[in-house]
């Protein structure tokens, strides 16, 4: 092919194509009309439009990907904050129940266990585990 052929008939190597596309997008970002870009770079108007369309799609896709990543990070941050709050509440509950259990006497704990076992046996009189637990309860002190 000769150098006097129209621009749309000339073949460019991949490096020249990348440079041309980058220059097209640089000029596009400066709001230069595509017709002037085509004249400045000595290429077809359709080529400029195709490059613009392709690059804008790439940018849009990248922006959507970034948005998804930001949303995911926000969800993870919120989940982390909720987990921290839940841990704090669990600690508070452990402190409250722990101090309440500490205040209970051994006999009160045995009575609570006996009540739970009797409730299990009321639901199923043949519950082997409940019968086992009942047999192994410490005796009632008077």
pLDDT tens series, the chain, 142 aa = 455 666 555 677 888 889 999 999 999 999 999 899 999 998 889 999 999 999 999 999 999 999 999 999 999 999 999 888 888 888 887 777 666 666 667 778 888 888 998 999 999 988 888 888 888 888 766 5
Contact 44, 74 (CB under 8 A): no
Tell me, yes or no, whether 17 and 59 share the same domain.
Answer: yes
Tell me, yes or no, whether 22 and 71 share the same domain.
Answer: yes
Q: At what angle do helices 14-29 and 34-41 cross, to 10 degrees?
A: 140
What are the distances in angstroms from CA 111 to CA 41, 99, 132?
92, 18, 16
Structure tokens that stand for 43 in this block: 């290429």
Is position 13 within any domain?
yes
Tell me, yes or no, whether 60 and 120 share the same domain.
Answer: no
Is position 89 within any domain?
yes
Identify the domain containing residue 112 by its residue range. 104-142
Tell me, yes or no, whether 93 and 120 share the same domain.
Answer: no
Tell me, yes or no, whether 57 and 40 share the same domain.
Answer: yes
Give dist(CA 81, CA 76) in Å, integer.
9
């Amino acid at each position: 092919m000769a150098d006097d052929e129209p621009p749309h008939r000339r073949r460019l190597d991949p490096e020249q194509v990348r440079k041309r596309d980058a220059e097209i997008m640089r000029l596009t970002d400066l709001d230069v009309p595509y017709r002037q870009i085509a004249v400045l770079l000595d290429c077809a108007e359709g080529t400029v439009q195709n490059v613009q369309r392709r690059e804008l799609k790439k940018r849009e896709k990248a922006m959507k990907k970034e948005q998804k990543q930001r949303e995911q990070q926000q969800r993870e941050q919120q989940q982390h904050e909720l987990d921290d709050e839940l841990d704090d509440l669990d600690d508070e509950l452990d402190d409250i129940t722990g101090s309440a259990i500490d205040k209970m006497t051994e006999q009160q704990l045995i009575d609570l266990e006996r009540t739970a076992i009797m409730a299990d046996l009321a639901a199923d009189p043949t519950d082997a585990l409940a019968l086992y637990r009942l047999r192994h309860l410490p005796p009632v002190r008077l």
